[in-house]
Amino acid sequence: MSQKREVYISVDVETSGPIPGVYSMLTIGACNVYNPEQVFSCELKPISDNVDPEALAVTGLSLETLALEGLNPEAAMLQFQGWVERVAGADGVPVFVGLNAPFDWSFINYYFHYFLESNPFGFAALDIKALYMGATGSNWAGTRSSQMAAWLNPKSEGNHEALDDAQYQAEIFRLIRAIRPFQQR
Protein backbone atom coordinates (compact mmCIF):
# COMPACT_ATOMS: atom_id res chain seq x y z
CA MET A 1 0.00 0.00 0.00
CA SER A 2 1.50 3.35 -0.99
CA GLN A 3 1.59 6.22 1.47
CA LYS A 4 -0.18 9.44 0.45
CA ARG A 5 1.90 12.52 -0.23
CA GLU A 6 1.94 14.97 2.69
CA VAL A 7 0.79 18.49 1.84
CA TYR A 8 1.89 20.96 4.49
CA ILE A 9 -0.58 23.80 4.99
CA SER A 10 0.40 26.76 7.16
CA VAL A 11 -2.60 28.09 9.08
CA ASP A 12 -2.96 31.19 11.23
CA VAL A 13 -6.02 32.58 12.95
CA GLU A 14 -6.89 35.78 14.75
CA THR A 15 -9.39 35.50 17.58
CA SER A 16 -11.30 37.55 20.14
CA GLY A 17 -9.82 35.59 23.05
CA PRO A 18 -7.92 32.55 24.29
CA ILE A 19 -10.34 29.63 23.87
CA PRO A 20 -12.77 28.47 21.19
CA GLY A 21 -16.48 28.28 21.90
CA VAL A 22 -16.34 31.08 24.46
CA TYR A 23 -14.47 33.43 22.14
CA SER A 24 -14.68 33.80 18.36
CA MET A 25 -12.32 32.97 15.55
CA LEU A 26 -12.27 36.19 13.52
CA THR A 27 -9.98 35.45 10.58
CA ILE A 28 -8.34 32.46 8.92
CA GLY A 29 -5.26 32.68 6.76
CA ALA A 30 -3.67 29.65 5.13
CA CYS A 31 -1.17 28.78 2.44
CA ASN A 32 0.48 25.76 0.92
CA VAL A 33 3.91 25.73 2.63
CA TYR A 34 5.76 24.82 -0.57
CA ASN A 35 3.59 26.99 -2.82
CA PRO A 36 2.86 30.00 -0.57
CA GLU A 37 1.00 31.86 -3.31
CA GLN A 38 -1.69 29.16 -3.08
CA VAL A 39 -3.75 30.85 -0.37
CA PHE A 40 -7.01 30.95 1.54
CA SER A 41 -8.24 33.86 3.62
CA CYS A 42 -11.53 34.89 5.16
CA GLU A 43 -13.14 36.91 7.93
CA LEU A 44 -15.87 35.35 10.05
CA LYS A 45 -18.91 36.64 11.87
CA PRO A 46 -18.33 36.34 15.64
CA ILE A 47 -20.13 33.51 17.45
CA SER A 48 -20.24 35.48 20.72
CA ASP A 49 -19.75 38.98 22.04
CA ASN A 50 -17.00 37.83 24.42
CA VAL A 51 -13.76 39.75 23.98
CA ASP A 52 -10.37 39.76 25.59
CA PRO A 53 -9.44 43.42 24.98
CA GLU A 54 -5.74 42.57 24.53
CA ALA A 55 -6.52 39.88 21.93
CA LEU A 56 -8.78 42.21 19.97
CA ALA A 57 -6.26 45.09 20.17
CA VAL A 58 -3.60 42.85 18.57
CA THR A 59 -5.87 42.08 15.62
CA GLY A 60 -7.14 45.60 14.94
CA LEU A 61 -10.47 43.99 14.04
CA SER A 62 -13.96 45.09 15.08
CA LEU A 63 -16.64 42.61 16.17
CA GLU A 64 -19.29 45.03 14.95
CA THR A 65 -17.77 45.24 11.46
CA LEU A 66 -17.25 41.47 11.29
CA ALA A 67 -20.87 40.89 12.38
CA LEU A 68 -21.92 42.83 9.28
CA GLU A 69 -19.22 41.85 6.78
CA GLY A 70 -17.82 38.51 7.92
CA LEU A 71 -18.83 35.14 6.54
CA ASN A 72 -21.23 32.95 8.44
CA PRO A 73 -18.90 30.51 10.27
CA GLU A 74 -20.43 27.43 8.64
CA ALA A 75 -19.96 28.93 5.17
CA ALA A 76 -16.39 29.96 6.05
CA MET A 77 -15.53 26.45 7.21
CA LEU A 78 -17.11 24.90 4.11
CA GLN A 79 -15.00 27.19 1.92
CA PHE A 80 -11.87 26.41 3.93
CA GLN A 81 -12.55 22.68 3.80
CA GLY A 82 -13.00 22.83 0.01
CA TRP A 83 -9.76 24.78 -0.36
CA VAL A 84 -7.82 22.30 1.85
CA GLU A 85 -9.18 19.37 -0.16
CA ARG A 86 -8.28 21.03 -3.49
CA VAL A 87 -4.75 21.85 -2.32
CA ALA A 88 -4.17 18.32 -1.00
CA GLY A 89 -5.70 16.67 -4.05
CA ALA A 90 -6.86 13.08 -4.23
CA ASP A 91 -3.32 11.76 -3.73
CA GLY A 92 -2.42 13.98 -0.75
CA VAL A 93 -3.09 14.22 2.95
CA PRO A 94 -3.25 17.75 4.39
CA VAL A 95 -0.98 18.43 7.37
CA PHE A 96 -1.86 21.42 9.56
CA VAL A 97 1.26 23.51 10.31
CA GLY A 98 1.22 26.35 12.81
CA LEU A 99 3.49 28.55 14.86
CA ASN A 100 2.16 27.72 18.28
CA ALA A 101 -0.11 25.20 16.59
CA PRO A 102 -1.98 24.25 19.78
CA PHE A 103 -3.63 27.69 19.82
CA ASP A 104 -4.58 27.97 16.14
CA TRP A 105 -5.43 24.26 15.95
CA SER A 106 -7.85 24.51 18.87
CA PHE A 107 -9.96 27.09 17.05
CA ILE A 108 -9.79 25.43 13.63
CA ASN A 109 -10.60 22.00 15.07
CA TYR A 110 -13.47 23.36 17.18
CA TYR A 111 -15.01 25.25 14.25
CA PHE A 112 -14.67 22.33 11.83
CA HIS A 113 -16.29 19.92 14.26
CA TYR A 114 -18.93 22.32 15.56
CA PHE A 115 -20.06 23.53 12.14
CA LEU A 116 -19.19 20.63 9.80
CA GLU A 117 -18.78 17.64 12.15
CA SER A 118 -15.36 16.74 10.72
CA ASN A 119 -11.91 18.19 10.20
CA PRO A 120 -10.04 17.62 6.90
CA PHE A 121 -6.75 17.77 8.82
CA GLY A 122 -7.73 14.80 10.96
CA PHE A 123 -6.85 14.95 14.64
CA ALA A 124 -3.28 16.27 14.68
CA ALA A 125 -1.22 19.38 13.99
CA LEU A 126 2.48 20.01 13.40
CA ASP A 127 3.90 22.72 15.67
CA ILE A 128 6.71 24.84 14.22
CA LYS A 129 8.00 25.69 17.71
CA ALA A 130 8.46 22.00 18.54
CA LEU A 131 10.05 21.35 15.14
CA TYR A 132 12.50 24.20 15.78
CA MET A 133 13.41 22.82 19.20
CA GLY A 134 14.11 19.41 17.69
CA ALA A 135 16.09 20.75 14.74
CA THR A 136 18.23 23.23 16.69
CA GLY A 137 18.35 21.99 20.27
CA SER A 138 16.80 25.29 21.34
CA ASN A 139 15.12 25.66 24.71
CA TRP A 140 11.44 26.70 24.93
CA ALA A 141 12.30 30.38 25.45
CA GLY A 142 14.25 30.26 22.20
CA THR A 143 11.12 29.37 20.22
CA ARG A 144 9.63 32.85 20.32
CA SER A 145 9.11 33.95 16.73
CA SER A 146 11.56 36.85 17.22
CA GLN A 147 14.23 34.42 18.47
CA MET A 148 13.67 32.02 15.58
CA ALA A 149 13.73 34.90 13.08
CA ALA A 150 17.04 36.17 14.47
CA TRP A 151 18.58 32.75 13.85
CA LEU A 152 16.82 31.79 10.59
CA ASN A 153 16.79 35.24 8.88
CA PRO A 154 13.46 34.96 7.01
CA LYS A 155 12.74 37.54 4.31
CA SER A 156 9.19 38.15 5.56
CA GLU A 157 7.80 38.92 9.00
CA GLY A 158 4.60 38.43 10.96
CA ASN A 159 2.12 41.27 11.46
CA HIS A 160 -1.02 39.72 13.04
CA GLU A 161 -2.88 39.54 9.74
CA ALA A 162 -3.79 35.88 9.37
CA LEU A 163 -2.79 35.37 5.73
CA ASP A 164 0.48 37.30 6.06
CA ASP A 165 1.30 35.34 9.21
CA ALA A 166 0.48 32.02 7.53
CA GLN A 167 2.91 32.87 4.72
CA TYR A 168 5.55 33.99 7.24
CA GLN A 169 5.12 30.74 9.17
CA ALA A 170 5.48 28.79 5.94
CA GLU A 171 8.81 30.49 5.31
CA ILE A 172 9.98 29.74 8.87
CA PHE A 173 8.92 26.10 8.41
CA ARG A 174 10.86 25.80 5.14
CA LEU A 175 13.96 27.35 6.73
CA ILE A 176 13.80 24.92 9.66
CA ARG A 177 13.37 21.95 7.31
CA ALA A 178 16.47 23.12 5.41
CA ILE A 179 18.66 23.01 8.54
CA ARG A 180 19.37 19.36 7.90
CA PRO A 181 17.78 16.85 5.60
CA PHE A 182 14.72 15.20 7.02
CA GLN A 183 14.72 11.63 5.77
CA GLN A 184 11.49 9.78 5.23
CA ARG A 185 11.60 6.38 6.89
CB count within 10 Å of CB 37 equals: 7
> Over 60: is that where the pLDDT of 182 sits?
no
The domain spans of the chain are: 5-177
pLDDT (tens digit, 9 = 90+) per residue, 124-158?
999 999 999 999 999 999 999 999 999 998 999 88
pLDDT (tens digit, 9 = 90+) per residue, 29-85?
999 999 999 999 999 999 999 999 999 998 899 999 999 999 999 999 999 999 999
3-state DSSP of the chain: CCCCEEEEEEEEEEECCCCECCECEEEEEEEECCEEEEEEEEEECCCCCCCCHHHHHHHCCCHHHHHHHCECHHHHHHHHHHHHHHHHCCCEEEEEEECCHHHHHHHHHHHHHHHHCCCCCCCCEEEHHHHHHHHHCCCHHHHCHHHHHHHHCCCCCCCCCHHHHHHHHHHHHHHHHCCCCCCCC
What's the predicted TM-score (pTM) here? Answer: 0.94
Architecture of domain 5-177: 2-Layer Sandwich (3.30)
User: Are 163 and 39 contacting, i.e. CB atoms less than 8 angstroms apart?
Assistant: yes
> Over 50: is that where the pLDDT of 185 sits?
no
Which one of 160, 164, 174, 179 is the catalytic residue? Answer: 160
* Average pLDDT over every residue of 112-132: 96
pLDDT (tens digit, 9 = 90+) per residue, 71-104?
999 999 999 999 999 999 999 999 999 999 999 9
**Catalytic residue status for 113:** no
> Over 70: is that where the pLDDT of 6 sits?
yes
